[in-house]
Structure 1
Amino acid sequence: MTNIISIFDTTLRDGTQGEGISLSADDKLKIAQKLDALGVHYIEGGNPGSNSKDIEFFQRVKGLKLNAKITAFGSTRRKNSTAEQDSSLLRIVESGVPAATLVGKSWDFHVHTALQTTLEENLSMIYDSFAFLKRSGVEAIFDAEHFFDGYKHNPEYALAVLRQAQEAGADWIVLCDTNGGTLPTEIHEIISRVRAELTAPLGIHTHNDCELAVANTLAAVGAGVRQVQGTINGYGERCGNANLCSILPTLQLKMDYRCVSDEQLQALTGTARYISEIANVHMPVGQPYVGNAAFAHKGGIHVSAIMKDSKTYEHIRPELVGNKQRILVSELAGQSNIISKAQELGLDINANNEKTKAIMERIKELEHQGYQFEGADASLELLLRDAFGNVKDIFKLESFKMLVEKHNGHMNSEAIVKVNVDGQSVYTAAEGNGPVNALDNALRKALVQFYPKINDIHLSDYKVRVIDEKDATAGKVRVLIESTDFNNTWSTVGVSSNVIEASWEALVDSIRYALLGMTPVFSQDEPRERLGLVNH
């Protein structure tokens, strides 16, 4: 029988300790719903008495009726006090959560230095706190902070701490590599010893300071732990926490453990990208399993091989985690890349097709001018569709003007855009916090009356790179724009010696690509023709 691993997500608590991450109560509720749909078993929401956002979260999350257990976080009672009088423990119980995690010291050095109390009092703090939670009917999880460092320094005391929690009734005992400095071989060896001493089920909580959080978590599971704690995209303090986006599929697809359903695993990529948008943290393109480049292929020999069988250069099918294979096209690419990319779009081409040779030469020419299509899939798709007559103009630019003025110390930008949409000339003006933002606003204003869903799209990243540095401010620039609608992300490119023109080119491609999937309000009867999709 497949072993089941309990997944404990702490994105909303430990993940928010990462630099640059701040979540509102609304953000937390949205993420909680995504995590619940993913199938995690525990969602740690924060400390119910530490700040107004967490208080609001615990009050409102009850109304969501989630399947996951919403878990509160706190610490063991204060020294020289009682659990019944500890305000933190009382707030946890009063919040009505079904489960709670308490952190306690398991390293004697921390007991003396951080808590400044005796080893005996620390043991009492742990026992009293968990006994109180159990009397209150709360599932109790003990996070043994700095356990591995503590064990290596004083194994007898570290084990005594775990025994106290177990005797008080803790449902889970989670071993924490809080400083992230332990190696996988040490993790496995120490956990094997701990299992011989305890009867309570074990969990693992690792940090990524040595780039080993995922490896340490997998080693811990191999040694017998049955609860895994981590965060989506590895968010967390310093170098981050164990990345559930790597742990989940590895456990389930490679180690024969059961974490979530197959259907829920297919939502992993979408969940990771959704949460990165909410957290306003850009996802690394090379992030395993869920990154945009996780299943991207550029070398012509590689592409030729995966066209025969994707197993030649892919360790799993990307669809298993909700991702997709991508063929990158550049001046280094062979015909296999072009053919594969075109076939992916449903275009009927082959190596002997003159259009294939022509578009290959066109791509090489454009890349020589400074375009870069391996990071701009949407622009490449439009280029291929244009070349094979598969798309027509959804809108045409007639003109645009930019007004940039500095007045009373403030920069003001205004864009005036004239476009033709299905034979209708539309003239709009809009302001923005910069010329590109003003152009974006004006173009959307012109199109929204025809495509209302355009309001669901926003720019998630904007990059400008000078190509000809020797020409200084007169040099040619490449603009890369990333856009998203929360479900999909696409990138476009523009190149010019004028940064406004390059931005406009990338912006127009972004909107054109988005509109391929939208039905205009004036064309319910013939949506495909109005969308610009033409079958051949």
Structure 2
Amino acid sequence: MKKRKIEIMDTTLRDGEQTSGVSFSAPEKLTIAKLLIEELHVDRIEIASARVSEGEFEAVKNITKWAKTHDHLDKIEILTFVDKGQSINWMKRAGATVQNLLTKGSLNHLTHQLKKTPEQHFSEIKETIELAKKEGIVSNVYLEDWSNGMRNSEDYVFQFLDFLTKQSVARILLPDTLGILTPSETYKYFSKITTKYPNIHFDFHAHNDYDLGVANVMEGIKAGAKGLHLTVNGMGERAGNAPLASVVAVVNDFFKNEVEISVKETALYSVSKLIETFSGFRIPVNKPIVGENVFTQTAGIHADGDNKNNLYFNDLMPNRFGRKRKYALGKTSGKANIEKNLQELGLALNNEDLKKVTQRIIELGDKKELVTKEDLPYIISDVLHNNLYEERITIESYVLTHSKGLKPSTTVAVKIDGELYEEHAQGDGQFDAFMNALNKLYTKKNMVLPKLVDYAVRIPPGSNSDALCETIITWKTNEKQFITRGLDSDQTVSAIKATKKMLNI
């Protein structure tokens, strides 16, 4: 059976830009247009509304100029209005050749917003379409509020469609403008229309107010839609539009024997991230396909199952979308999670050491510390070096103060062979004050501290300010020089941990 081709029309640059607080610059719009067409391979893009602003006009001119030189001009669409040719003139000056004409798809909108009869509206639409044809502009027609039109004024919708199917129209665009449809309604309404007009190209434009956008798109496909309107990251007014990445995955997995689309899956994530940066519209970490966490296994049992026979994989394999599977490290981690991360780093541990490292990661997770794969070598070093000496000295408690205009100070309580000692000192920094307090305490005990000869702090490559940091301190006595390491998310605390190891060594 021959597959039905479904056109993907991306409206990120028009409907998506109606996301509250989002405004793309002209260079950003051009970059996004190029990515959508040449990287993602969408069939069409809706890039602007006519007559909005001078900045929008310049952005459209940039895109149409590029599209014309790359043979993509027929893929560039502009939202226009029934306005006695003003939108058509705007398009001509901007170099665009495809209009998506906004009309009224419900009697409610027609009578209360335009205050016109169907006949008056149809007459003005006909004039606009004929003018567009005369100017070499292809016309698609939006039936705004079509979903409410089918619910409350179905006769009007079919009267309108009878009229439109006799006009010079390439596509009829059916939007669920307010995102009110249920999946069963979408199938029912779309089927009625595609059954009556089997040779007409109908697009479905879903909004996501009830989080049913993707489900409604599925029903639209079943009912014969020949085109889908989507946005990157589900951007759009209110709760946004049906998201491109999710719909592409759904179509490829659940309709692969019936329909085909041209979108390149492997480019979805990279384009999504770039548009996140340009828009400032953050992608939820659990958003399907493009969210940061959606290919991350957290529970240890899942990693164990993946080790044994990929038991926790589904068809949404990360490599399809240019991504990698990750295994989170935290309080729910098991040995399998850690082994997966160690494999990626090319490291191996025996069972006993693996248990110790697992326990340390669980402890960090309980403290809400963020643990990454890059932290693992530092954690391993910290845990395995802990057992090289007998712990006779413990730092029971300390208070670190740092105030503007005052020298940093530390009060520290240290237990040596079961006996508690306390001292207070100031210094040039918190750690210097800590060391001065220790020095005072050791002097009273007629003990001598090693000399600190080098102090280095590092965090894993690519980490953020909340990363675990490792402090490496080199100490020198009369007999030898040695190094201790401390690991914590707080730099001063990690230095104190390194110092405690020194005291015991």
Give the TM-score of the pair, scaled to structure 2: 0.72
Shift of 1:343: 1.3
Query: Which residues of 2 match residues 83-98 of structure 1 at below 5 A?
Result: 83=84, 86-98=85-97
d(CA) in 2 for partners of 1:501, 1:192: 67
Query: Which residues of 2 match residues 189-228 of structure 1 at below 5 A?
Result: 189-198=188-197, 199-228=199-228
Unaligned residue ranges in structure 2 (runs of 5+):
382-401, 406-457, 469-486, 494-505
Residue 385 of structure 1: which of 349, 359, 377 is its match?
377
Q: Match of 1:392?
A: none
SS in structure 2 of the partner of residue 140 of structure 1: strand
Residue-by-residue CA offset, 1:192-251 (whole Å, 9 max, x unaligned): 110122231110001111111111111101110011001101111111111111111211
Query: Which residues of 2 match residues 90-489 of structure 1 at below 5 A?
Result: 90-198=89-197, 199-256=199-256, 257-260=259-262, 264-310=264-310, 312-349=312-349, 352-373=350-371, 380-386=372-378, 479=466
Q: Match of 2:22?
A: 21
Q: Match of 2:8?
A: 7
Shift of 1:17: 0.8
Q: Percent identity?
A: 26
Asked if the contact 2:40–2:265 (Cα under 8 Å) also holds between the matched residues in 1, the reply is yes
Q: Match of 1:77?
A: 82
Structure 2 residue identity aligned to 1:123: F
Judging changes above 3 Å, is the alpha-carbon distance between structure 1 residues 45 and 364 closer, same or farther for their aligned structure 2 residues? same
Shift of 1:403: 11
Shift of 1:384: 1.6
Asked if the contact 1:107–1:154 (Cα under 8 Å) also holds between the matched residues in 2, the reply is yes
Structure 2 residue identity aligned to 1:364: I
Judging changes above 3 Å, is the alpha-carbon distance between structure 1 residues 278 and 501 closer, same or farther for their aligned structure 2 residues? farther
d(CA) in 2 for partners of 1:164, 1:210: 32
Judging changes above 3 Å, is the alpha-carbon distance between structure 1 residues 403 and 12 closer, same or farther for their aligned structure 2 residues? farther
Residue-by-residue CA offset, 1:366-423 (whole Å, 9 max, x unaligned): 23444133xxxxxx2222233567xxxxxxxxxxxx9989xxxxxxxxxxxxxxxxxx
Give the TM-score of the pair, scaled to structure 1: 0.68
Cα RMSD (Å) of the superposition? 2.9
Q: Match of 2:448?
A: none
d(CA) in 2 for partners of 1:89, 1:494: 64
SS in structure 1 of the partner of residue 331 of structure 2: coil
Asked if the contact 2:40–2:268 (Cα under 8 Å) also holds between the matched residues in 1, the reply is yes
Is 244-253 or 312-321 further displaced after alignment? 312-321
d(CA) in 2 for partners of 1:139, 1:308: 57
d(CA) in 1 for partners of 2:315, 2:36: 25
Structure 1 residue identity aligned to 2:112: T
Unaligned residue ranges in structure 1 (runs of 5+):
374-379, 390-401, 406-446, 448-453, 463-478, 482-492, 503-536
Shift of 1:52: 1.9
d(CA) in 1 for partners of 2:327, 2:63: 42
SS in structure 1 of the partner of residue 112 of structure 2: helix
Which of 1 and 2 has greater Rg? 2
Residue-by-residue CA offset, 1:96-115 (whole Å, 9 max, x unaligned): 22322111101011111111
Asked if the contact 2:305–2:312 (Cα under 8 Å) also holds between the matched residues in 1, the reply is yes
d(CA) in 1 for partners of 2:404, 2:170: 63
SS in structure 2 of the partner of residue 44 of structure 1: strand
Judging changes above 3 Å, is the alpha-carbon distance between structure 1 residues 333 and 254 closer, same or farther for their aligned structure 2 residues? same
Residue-by-residue CA offset, 1:428-458 (whole Å, 9 max, x unaligned): xxxxxxxxxxxxxxxxxxx9xxxxxx9xx99
Structure 1 residue identity aligned to 2:360: R
Tell me the number of residue pairs that the alignment of Structure 1 and Structure 2 aligns: 395
SS in structure 1 of the partner of residue 174 of structure 2: strand
Shift of 1:151: 1.6
SS in structure 1 of the partner of residue 185 of structure 2: helix
